[in-house]
Structure 1
Amino acid sequence: MLRALGFPRCPLRMLRVPNRSVADGQAATPVPVSYCVFDGASARPPLVLLHGLFGNKGNFASLAKAIVRRSGRKVLTVDARNHGDSPHHPLMTYEAMSDDVRLLLRQLRLDRCVLVGHSMGGRTAMAVALRWPELVERLLCVDISPSGTSAVSSLGRLVEALKAVELPEGVPLSTARRLVQEQLRKDIQDLSVLRFLLTNLVSAEGRVVWRVNLDAVSRHLDGLTRLPSFEAPYSGPVLFLGGAKSPYISSEDFPEIERLFPEAEIEYVPDAGHWVHADQPQHFVDAVCRFLEQPPS
């Protein structure tokens, strides 16, 4: 039964968009994604942490260590395709990214796991649970719902602003980031968002480049703002952990959450925006560890 704790102050108007599955007629070939392992002594299923759009596996590194200390479970942090150290691929859909997670579990010979995903990673985790429920012991989605949102236009402007940047040449990475920040300030006023995006600037073969595949993100952005259509629900334990200052999980999402995840609970973290784990890391770790100890329904 759906139960919501600490309802947020910022409702979100939702945009329903018809689902398209594999985009552009391309085959959904799984790619071997990059990951880090934080070992724990417990034999219980490990946690697999999936980051959001423009993020990377490093976003969860300190939190993974804290979860290992508290729970004893092994934790994996994973780079999505077209992000971090994972391969670039022209196809970027939730079907494709959930295929990548399934491939990783097979490669590591993991029969079951706990999936924890923020934003885009949360929807990827949902897709894995809905497609292969036998692989997922329980599911935690951070500040994202299965419903489509109206954020596609603002995200599109952000991607185009990044693509329009003139990347400096012949300067250290720190200098390049400062120069790119100056270029982007007119389009991105939120300094915390801007600094987060600049973590995607890296040095490669003597050049400064974006490590996120902006072309693939831009091409598939519309599909990334919603979960594909599913009929059969996932009946395992689920927690939707939202930021009380964020609009990404609203009461309008509750019917679709309950339809797809009938055992879901919703909890809102006080004084947290969209990046719940960065705004309130201790509360995030506490919520994850409490959820791990809850008995199956």
Structure 2
Amino acid sequence: MQLNYKINGQGETVFLIHGLFGSLSNFGLLHQVLSHHYRVISIDVRNHGESPHHPSMAYEDMADDVLALAKLLGVKNFSLVGHSMGGKIAMMVTLKAPEKVDKLVVADMSPVNYEPRHQGVFAGLQAVAESDIKTRSEAQQYLANHVEEVGVQQFLLKSLYRFKDKMIWRYNLPALVNGYADIIAWPDTDQKFNGPTLFIKGQLSDYIIDDYWPHGRRYFPNAKIKMIMGTGHWLHAEKPVIFNKLVNDFLHATS
């Protein structure tokens, strides 16, 4: 499928890949910063934003989406920055086509299987989908019954839009629900990427812990890790200046 994308800048190509329930706007600030020196391509992952819908959420398939877009745009080599689920997609792209990848940045994600942790979010999204809401404020009230954090509510509401006389999600919600087991999993592979790799961890997040780090080094032997203090899983939104500098410095240092 052809993913929806936004492209700016000139130079070496960098793909930015958002996480679950996100869209290409999530990396808006980083896109702007990097576009001064790179050709930056932000994408909507399948079943998100304005990209096509498909029943599969397997990482092999989502990696193929990125590789197909690179081919369509005539990009032979590129770097990747991915957050959360987008980090797993970026890792899978790298392992499937290591000869095409220059550098890899993974934001707060490990190549491991996780336990389910989004039940409340799915319940909130489903409640909104089954309602006849007319406004975002009404949608937020439904979400609040299942999602306590106001910041998460507001993040989810970015993917709500008006269609005719009601508000609906841009997500392919059935595909995300049915594919959730694939989303939290990691498909084992014998492939490795020996190129420059940077993992960036949020100090308060448990997506990268000591027990997971050997798995990261297994697939990415030359990986390094940086930690942003006082941040959780949404480190690029909580401390964008520090996060963007880490990414920019890493891409420059390994050029």
Q: TM-score range by the shorter chain?
A: over 0.9
Other-structure match for 1:51: 18
Q: Which residue of 1 aligns with 2:126?
A: 163
- The DSSP-based 3-state class of the residue aligned with 2:35 is helix
Give the aligned residue type for 1:140: V
**Structure 2 counterpart of 1:135:** 100
Contact 2:123–2:146, Cα closer than 8 Å, also in 1: no
Match of 1:121 in 2: 86
Which gives a bigger RCO, structure 1 or 2 (Cα 8 Å, sep 6+)? 1
Deviates more, 1:210-219 or 1:225-234: 225-234
Partner of 1:75: 40
Q: 2:224 matched to 1:265?
A: yes
The residue matched to 2:201 in structure 1 has which SS? strand
Quote how far apart the aligned CAs of 1:117 are.
0.3
Structure 2 contact 127–142 (Cα < 8 Å) conserved? no
Q: Which amino acid aligns with 1:55?
A: G
Write the letter of the residue equivalent to 1:122: G
CA RMSD of aligned residues (A): 1.3
Aligned length: 254
Deviation for aligned residue 1:295: 3.4
The answer to whether the Cα contact below 8 Å between 1:32 and 1:103 also exists between their aligned partners in 2 is yes
DSSP 3-state at the match of 1:164: helix
Cα shift at 1:221: 0.5
What SS does structure 1 have at the residue aligned with 2:224?
strand
Structure 1: state its 5+ residue gaps: 1-30
- After TM superposition, the score normalised by the length of structure 1 is 0.82
The residue correspondences of 1:1-297 to structure 2 (distance < 5 A) are: 31-40=1-10, 42=11, 45-69=12-36, 72-150=37-115, 152=116, 154-165=117-128, 166-169=130-133, 171=134, 176-295=135-254
TM, length-normalised to structure 2: 0.96
Residue 82 of structure 1, CA deviation:
0.3
Contact 1:156 1:221 in 2 (8 A): no
Question: Displacement of 1:194 after TM fit?
Answer: 0.9
Preserved CA contact (<8 Å) 1:167 1:208: no
Report percent identity of matched pairs.
36
Give SS of 1:252's match: coil
Residue 206 (structure 1) shift: 4.1
| Residue-by-residue CA offset, 1:132-181 (whole Å, 9 max, x unaligned) | 1011101000000001122x1x3134213311224335x4xxxx110111
Provide the secondary structure at the position in 2 that maps to 1:47.
strand
> Structure 2 unaligned runs (5+)?
none
| CA distances 1:197-253 after superposition (whole Å, capped 9, x unpaired) | 111111124431110111000001011112211112111110001111111100001
Cα offsets for 1:54-86 (capped at 9, x unmatched): 0000111222111223xx111111000000000
Q: Work out whether residues 93 and 220 of structure 1, in 8 Å CA contact, stay in contact via their aligned partners in 2.
A: yes
Contact 2:47 2:172 in 1 (8 A): yes
CA contact (8 A) 1:243 1:270 kept: yes
Q: How far does residue 282 in structure 1 lie from its aligned partner after superposition?
A: 0.5
Higher mean C-alpha displacement, 225-234 vs 212-221:
225-234
Q: What secondary structure is seen at the aligned counterpart in 1 of 2:233? A: coil
2:191 maps to amino acid: A
| In structure 2, C-alpha distance between the alignment counterparts of 1:103 and 1:202, rounded to whole Å | 28
Report the Cα distance in structure 1 between the residues aligned to 2:5 and 2:174, rounded to whole angstroms. 23
Q: Contact between 2:77 and 2:100, CA under 8 Å: does it hold in 1?
A: yes
Give secondary structure in 2 for the equivalent of 1:292: helix
CA distance in 1, matches of 2:139, 2:207: 29
